[in-house]
Structures are given as C-alpha cells and as structure tokens.
Amino acid sequence: MKIKNRQLVEGQFGHGAIHHSRLRHWFRRKMRPTLGRAEIPFDWSNPIPDPMYPVKNQGISFSCGGQAGSYLIRDLLKTAGKDQGEISAKSIYAPYCAVGGGMTLDAIETCIGAHGSNLESLVSSYDVNGNPLTEPMFETRVWETPQTDADALTRAGYTPVSVAIDKDSMAEAIRDYGGIIMLIQGQNGNQPMNWTTATPAPPSKSNPKPLWAHYLWCAFTTTTQIAVYNSWGVQIGSGGKQFFDETYINSGYILDCIAFIPDIMIGSLPVTMPPPWASLLIWFKSLLANK
C-alpha cells in the first residue's frame, strides 16, 4: 500500500499520521451511510459514563488507528452484552498498515467491518516487559494463522456510518452505538492548552509547527464536552483521557467521525444512504483494486 503525504508529529510524540485533503474526506463521508439525528435530543444533564477501560500506549509506533479501533470493538461487544476483555490493537493494525507506518480510514473500516480482531491475550500489543511495541514489531504478522483469522471473524460484521461533526450528533452516536472513531488534526505547542493537557486547543494559524493527524476513540461525555481515550499513555491529559468542547469540534480540524453499526441492524436505523453516484465510485475503485 503506497501512502502519500504522511507527516510526522514534531517534538515528544513521534506518531505517524495519514494526512489527506479535505475534499477527499468529504467524498469518503458522502460514500458512507449517514446516521440521522435521534428523535430524542441528547440530554447533557445526564452525561454518558466513562467505561473505565485500561488506557493504551502506542509508544513510538504509528498505530493510533489500531488503538482507537481496539477501544471501539471492545465497547461494541460490551454494548451487545458480549464483553470479552481487551482487544488487540496489533491485530487491527498489522494486517492493513502501510509499510513504514500509518493506517488509512479505508483500512480501519475494512478491518473492523470485515476482517475483525483478536483478543489482546492472543495477539499482544506489548513486549514481554509490558512495554509498547516499536513500529517494526507492530507491523510484523508472524502471529497470523488461519485460526487467528477465523477467531477475528467472530468480531467482524459492522457497517461504517458517518456521524455529523457537531457536539449533539457525536454525543448521540456515543450513547447509542458504542462510541465513535474520530480523525482529528492537531498541532504541538499550543499553550497553555497543548496536546499534553486534558483540554487540547485546536491548531493556531499563527503557530509555525505543522499539523498532524491522529485517530481517537470518543468514549463518553461530561455535561459539556466530548471525552476521548487517547493512546499515548496515562501521563497524557487526565489519566490518558482528554476532553473536547464546541470550540474544537466546530473549528474545522475534525476531519471525520465514524460509528460502526452491526450489519444486521443497518436496515432498521435512521440512516441516509449514499447518493447514486457513490455506488458507481465504489464499483470503479474495486475495478482499480483488482488490476
């Protein structure tokens, strides 16, 4: 897989990011079903509780897509009453990552929707000392067998659905569908609310440092904010969790928000299907992929 325009984070957090144009993200969102607003508006006086999962740490790898997906899949199973414990970020990331690091949204959708994932106890994302793997170790697939693939399939079967990028729609999707994956642009050095704090600030045009992109799992809410689990360890934010208010959400620096709906439910939900031209683009893309 050849990925263009990958940028690296400057400074302390050297995590890779897949960085596309806004037009490409707009097309991607249009090609998915779109989740409609719930009939009952979100009640901010009754926040969604923190699921209290262990905070992950991707170390120096570029595996944020796998980390966010592993949080999400566990919560999807929990929502269905089938929580099986921690999901392996490596089992999501390794089969679909780009050589040299990074993961596209297409890859995340394919893995969660069709390939599935393994438990952390079967495919470990940490070394024997409990430290996060390096990028080359994350990319290796020596653990993959027909049995692990079959096991992963037991946690597949989801349709990716676009969620409107506004605070109420995001909160409703978190409440009803096991959280959402958010692709966000950030920037180091925004003082005093930089990316080590609990409430990061959106990028500033006056800041000379480059933008980077990062996948996060939106997990719960406060009475005013969307809360995420990061994958940079417990030393970041508030025990590894961070909080976004309308300033960031409305800033234009959130590129995508995706919920994953069980395939068997998709026909019964208030979703808007993609326009007719989207199916033609998907067909054309499949032709190119098979050449």
- Residue 27 has a pLDDT of 76
pLDDT tens figures, 228-239:
999 999 999 999
- Residue 57 has a pLDDT of 95
- Does the residue 138 lie in any domain? yes
**Residue 23 buriedness (CB in 10 A; 0-12 / 13-18 / 19+):** exposed
SS3 239: coil
For range 159-188, the mean pLDDT: 93
- Does the residue 2 lie in any domain? no
List the beta bridge partners of residue 243: 227
- Does the residue 12 lie in any domain? yes
For range 190-211, the mean pLDDT: 86
* Cβ within 8 Å of residue 57, ≥6 positions away: 132, 231, 232, 233, 234, 240
Give yes or no for residue 38 having a pLDDT over 90: no
- Does the residue 50 lie in any domain? yes
**Contact of 258 with 109, CB cutoff 8 Å:** yes
Q: Model confidence at 17, in pLDDT bands (50, 70, 90)?
A: very low
For range 206-210, the mean pLDDT: 82
Separation between Cα atoms, residue 238 and residue 244, nearest integer Å:
13
CA 51 from centroid of its chain's CA atoms:
17
- Does the residue 82 lie in any domain? yes
- Which tokens go with 281? 């683009």
- Does the residue 275 lie in any domain? yes
CATH of the domain at 147: 3.90.70.10
- Residue 268 has a pLDDT of 82
Separation between Cα atoms, residue 112 and residue 71, nearest integer Å:
11
- Which tokens go with 136? 């080359």
Whether the full predicted model's pTM is greater than 0.75, yes or no, is yes
- Residue 210 has a pLDDT of 80
Q: Model confidence at 8, in pLDDT bands (50, 70, 90)?
A: very low
Residue 52 phi/psi, 5-degree rounding, is 60, 45
Give the residue from 231, 54, 75 showing the smallest Cα distance to 138: 231
For range 87-93, the mean pLDDT: 97
- Does the residue 87 lie in any domain? yes
State the total domains in the chain.
1
Within 13 A of 145's CA, how many CA atoms are on the CB side? Answer: 5
pLDDT tens figures, 253-289:
999 999 999 999 888 887 887 777 666 666 566 555 5
- 234: amino acid identity, one letter: V
- Which tokens go with 93? 């990331």
Mean pLDDT of the chain: 86
List the beta bridge partners of residue 261: 159
Q: Model confidence at 43, in pLDDT bands (50, 70, 90)?
A: very high
For range 42-67, the mean pLDDT: 95
For range 94-104, the mean pLDDT: 87
- Residue 123's domain spans which residues? 7-289
Separation between Cα atoms, residue 262 and residue 122, nearest integer Å:
24
- Does the residue 1 lie in any domain? no
